[in-house]
Chain A
Amino acid sequence: MRRSYGSGITKVTAVEDVGFDVHRGELVAVMGPSGSGKSTLLLVVGGLERPDAGSVTVAGAELAGLSEEALYRHRRQHIGFVFQNYNLIRTLTAVENVALPAELNGMSYRKAVSEAEEALRAVGVGDLAQRFPDQMSGGQQQRVALARALGGGRRVLLADEPTGALDSHTASGVLDVMARRVADGAAGIVVTHDPSVAARAHRTIHLRDGRIERIGVARAGTVR
């Protein structure tokens, strides 16, 4: 697929001629220098941007063929995002942040919160359910973000530098959670500069100037 911004002499092609598959239970790392198109790739795969050419199929749905409404619904049901700066909504408690997609799907508050509490326990922060993001550490916030991304049976995880703001110990814990969820059947794409994160992926796609430079396969045994 291809995605460009601007027009005429200001036209910048962020991603061009990029194609790959990610399967269930597989974690793919995307690496590359700044401006290589990593973030654009995630936006397009997440359905937040539409490609200029080519197609993107996520969880069985060709995104270009979906209406806006269907695209929102598809994202709610199948795709979870994790950001470097956590991006929890500061006015919602941890459990409410996690329950957010379910609520948006029409689930009752009580049921959504109940499920979210379970998801929080699964990532090891069940005791922080009623805290607001400002009352948690970075690692705790990132675990909550992971619970939100993969709660509600979502099977596609898109993460942008998920451990970029964390110390190595906390980062390791977050990666463990991600690895477990992928091992449980999720498909993940993680954008990272960190070779140690990439090392835990099944494959690594190297981007340069919007194109795939090479695809590396991690040694056997990933995801760990």
Chain B
Amino acid sequence: MRFLVLASRLARREMAAQRSSSLLVLILITLPVLGITAYLTADASAIASPESRIARELGGADVRVLVEAPEPFAEGVARSRADITTEFGPDSQVAALVKVSATTRAGDREVPTTIHLHDTASPLTEPLYRLLSGKRPASADEVALSEATARRLAVSVGDRVTVAGVDRPLVVSGVQFDPRDIEAAFAVLPDSGELVGPLTAEREASPTLSWLVKIGPQAPPPGTIGTLTVVNKRMVLLESQPSNRSLFFGVFLGSLLEITLIVAAVFATTARRQRRFYALLALSGAGPRQRFGIACAHGLVIGVIAAAIGVAGGVLAALLLRGTLEQATKTRWEQLTVPTGLLGQVVLLAVAATVLSAALVSRSSATRNPAEALHGRESVIGRSRRGLILVGGGLLAVGVTSMVFGLLVRRETFAPLGVLLGVFGGGLLLTVLLPRLLVVGRGMRLPARLAIRDTALAPSRTAALATAIASMIAVATTMTFYLTGMAANPDYKPYVPDAPENAAVFTTRAPVAPDVLGRAAEQLGAPGAIAFREAALSVPEGATPSPVQISSAALGAFSPLTAVVAEDEADELLGRPLSDAERRAFTTGSALALNPGLVADGSVLLKGSLPRTPGNASTPPTFTEVDVRMPALVVADRKFRRAPLLLVTEQVARAHNLEPLSQSYSYLFRSSALPSEAAEDQARATLLEGAEGRVLSGKLLVERGDSRPRVVNLINRLIVPLLVVFCLVIIAMGIGLSTNQLKDDFAVLAAVGAQPGIVRAVASWQAGATAAIGVVFGVAIGGAGAVAMVAGSEARWTVLPLGLTVAAAAAVVLLAAALGRATASRRLPTPRWT
């Protein structure tokens, strides 16, 4: 304990003595801690408490029961109420929740709105929404609007609105909000029974029915609820897990790793001073372990201060930005929740990173023979670094092996790990290799020679800086190579649209009249509508069929358009006759895949969830996931590139436990050119008006190209330049500090008559040399990682932007040199005589 007090006192004094570098370390550690604290606090505050979530979902009830929408709906509600009462006993309290879609209007403004019809006077429904102003609607001519609806209609309490399907104007009695989505456009109407019919008769209404039930004391025992889907409190909690936290934590860890390197470089700029400091401590009797402890304490003190400032600043930032964050996330916080446990982990990580940075650099200074440092004989020349070679070489070897392994087993996930290990292993090896640069540079111009020799004689600083740069360049290179390479690759999977390019799909529960389809096709610029049926997993009688999904390690799951078609319909869907090979495969049991990316090892792996096993009041329903592997033939036609459409015959579908969706009629419109959004809306209106049955999918999935170019552009134009800017900032910072450490040398140059410009020339060469090492190293590792990823993703070919890379690398080095020059002093210091 006494030693800790001493160590921290010495560390604090050193911080004060090394003000600029200490401040830099403080800032570097504080910023990510502040960012993650603000995020975690905002995230924790945005997540409603379990009690609140239960209140929003279940109101004042014990359970919510989801039932199939009855047909006809209005009459079915009464039947359903009787069923519920039978199931839960006559002493249970029951409230119906009807949800329909309708347009709400005020003056010339209109908003598509979700209408909630329920008994607004019931204590079961009261906690569902929160009032901002006014009161809950009580009579048949009152309505409560969500704040988003009220804003978009420009109305407030007391104004009048109309709702499609309701034949009288309604007075706005109150404005409510749902804390989970403050932008939700909804309206709450008191359910007197008379509105259900007119509202649900609308074609687009898609009504749903559920029941809030407060179970009475005489309720039947669990397990006897039959086929009802019951949402109980536990399930509400299960379904409301926080989402992106791990992603942000990952970003935080990544940035902390990066910052560890930069902070190590900052510590390394004072290595000479540190060596003398530890030598003096040794003279005072401090043993190697004690000196190392003091080195760690240095990091600890800065880390603790930085983490404390970061956490306090982060909480404050979350508080100050509360309004903006609520608006951005479309939620409303019930209170400011500071996630102390998580923030504790953040603090620990930040402090650990700082201690590690200090220990990495100070380890050798603190533990070596003090006589060397005091006599100025502290050269790195000839020093044995076998440990570093072993660790660095080992990490690099594991990284390369990981990439090669990923390439061999065709798994792209191994490459990023390989890049990470490669960068850090290579960084450690750099500290061994850099001193060898001492032998180069003879005969070079003086500033270049001075810069290169300094780079070589300060290997820890240069290696840490170069590795920090390399890691960012490696990430940028991997992303650029991977995305640019894949963008030109027809097998590219990550941005697969849900339907063929320029295709629109319309699905109803009844056939659509040919003249309606013809009008819609004309509006979309399509030659006609191609009818087909989608496949679903077979389910027991009465249950809802479950749509199939494609499983992909890279993508997670998505639903491809899986069409069950006859042979001649396949011709129509393809827009050309099947080739002999395709026809043979199709009729003998294979699926036809219009996107090569869907097929691995000659087959498609479909995943689907079998219907939920009914639960009861205490047990949530369960899901059973099944895999269906079916042989497939890739239809090699550039016209369908990226279209995830799968064509299967009815026999093939049944053989793999698939069946056409019952009562489902799908129509595909494929236009040669992209229709305008107005044309799309027009066609949609035509179809909605003309469709006889209930519309299952009224959305026209006209794929407007796909998002790849935008994503590639975003990464290439925004993220990569950002990483490059960070690199340059790191370089400027590191070079600024190191030229500061070269003050003595510059003073000597002043004494021998060098012109002041030499400082800037040396800084320029130093920045350029460090950047060049980092860039070459980063491009090599990042490029290897990208190649491994692209090859591992089973892509057929790759386009690597080598020319662009060379140009960008050269630009980074030149910019770094220019930055080094610009930030260096214009004056030579006056020599200190002793």
Query: Are A and B subunits of one complex?
Result: yes
What distance in Å separates the Cβ of A104 from its nearest Cβ neighbour in chain B? Answer: 5
Q: How far is the CA of A161 from the CA of B443 in the complex (A)?
A: 33
Measured between beta carbons, the chain B residues less than 8 angstroms from A75 are 751-753
Q: Which residues of B contact A100 (CB under 8 A)?
A: 446, 749, 752, 754
Structural contact, A132 and B381, CB atoms closer than 8 A: yes
Chain B residue with the shortest CB-CB distance to A134: B379
- In angstroms, Cα B756 to Cα A104, docked, is 12
CB of A28 within 8 Å of the partner chain:
no
Question: Would you call B833 and A84 a contact (CB within 8 A)?
Answer: yes
Contact B748 A161 (CB under 8 A): no
Docked pose: A77 CA to B449 CA in angstroms: 22
Asked if B569 is at the interface (CB within 8 A of a chain A CB), the reply is no
Which one of A73, A92, A110, A164 contacts B453 once the chains associate, using CB atoms below 8 Å? A92
Q: Looking at the assembled complex, report how far the CB atom of B105 sits from the nearest CB atom of chain A, in whole angstroms.
A: 78
Q: Are B753 and A160 in contact (CB under 8 A)?
A: no
In chain A, positions 71-125 with a C-beta closer than 8 Å to chain B are 72-77, 79-81, 83-85, 87-92, 96, 100-101, 103-105, 109-110
Instruction: Name the distance in Å between A130's Cβ and chain B's nearest Cβ.
Output: 10
Contact A104 B748 (CB under 8 A): no
Asked if B834 contacts A160 (CB within 8 A), the reply is yes
CB–CB A81/B752 < 8 A: yes
Known A-B contacts A85-B834, A110-B443; A91 and B450 likewise in contact (beta carbons under 8 Å): yes
Could you say which of A83, A134, A135 contacts B834, with CB atoms under 8 Å apart? A83
Tell me if A72 and B755 are in contact (CB < 8 A): yes
Cβ contact within 8 Å between A48 and B749: no
Which chain A residues border B126 with CB–CB below 8 Å?
A: none
- With a cutoff of 8 Å between Cβ atoms, the chain A residues found around residue B442 in the complex are 109
A16 to chain B: closest CB distance in Å?
A: 20
Q: How far is the CA of A134 from the CA of B831 in the complex (A)?
A: 20
Q: When the two chains form their complex, are residues B381 and A87 in contact, meaning their CB atoms are under 8 A apart?
A: no
A-B contact count (CB 8 A): 98
Is B378 in contact with chain A by the CB < 8 A criterion? yes
Q: From residue 740 to 772 of chain B, which have CB atoms closer than 8 A to chain A?
A: 744-745, 747-755
Q: A43 to B751, alpha carbons, bound, how many Å? A: 9
- Do B745 and A89 touch across chains, with their CB atoms under 8 A apart? yes
Contact of B749 among A79, A89, A191 (CB under 8 A): A89
Interface residue tally of chain B, by bracket?
Answer: 20 to 34
Instruction: Select which of B454, B753, B831 is within 8 A of A76 by beta carbon.
Output: B753
**B-chain residues with CB within 8 Å of residue A88 when the two chains form the complex:** 748
A83 touches B833 (CB 8 A): yes
Of all chain A residues, the one with the shortest Cβ separation from B456 is: A91
- Using Cβ atoms and an 8 Å threshold, which residues of chain A touch B748? 87-89
Query: Are A134 and B377 in contact (CB-based, < 8 A)?
Result: yes
Residues of chain B contacted by A200 (CB below 8 angstroms): none
From the candidates A72, A77, A161, name the one contacting B833 in the complex (CB within 8 A): A161
- How far is B834's CA from A164's CA once the two chains are assembled, in angstroms? 9
Shortest distance between the CB of A57 and any CB in chain B (Å): 17
A42 contacts the other chain (CB 8 A):
yes
Q: Bound state CA distance, A77 and B753, in angstroms? A: 8
Tell me if A39 counts as interface (CB < 8 A to partner B).
yes
Tell me, yes or no, whether B223 is within 8 Å of chain A by CB. no
Asked if B754 and A104 make an inter-chain contact with CB atoms under 8 angstroms apart, the answer reads yes
**B197 CB within 8 Å of chain A:** no
- B775 in contact (CB, < 8 A): no
Out of A48, A83, A87, A91, which one reaches B454, CB within 8 Å?
Answer: A91
B376 at the interface (CB under 8 A from A): yes
Within 8 A of A (CB), among B358-400: 375-379, 381
Q: Would you call A46 an interface residue if the criterion is a C-beta within 8 Å of the partner chain's C-beta atoms?
A: yes
Bound-complex Cα distance A39 to B749 (A) = 18
The 6 nearest A-B residue pairs measured at CB? A76-B753, A91-B453, A134-B379, A75-B753, A160-B833, A81-B751
27 residue pairs from A and B, CB less than 8 Å apart: A39-B833, A48-B830, A72-B755, A74-B753, A75-B751, A76-B753, A81-B751, A81-B752, A83-B834, A88-B748, A89-B450, A91-B454, A91-B456, A92-B453, A101-B753, A103-B446, A104-B446, A104-B749, A105-B753, A109-B442, A132-B438, A134-B378, A134-B379, A135-B377, A135-B379, A138-B375, A160-B834
B interface, CB within 8 angstroms of A: 375-379, 381, 438, 442-444, 446, 449-450, 453-454, 456-457, 744-745, 747-755, 830-831, 833-834
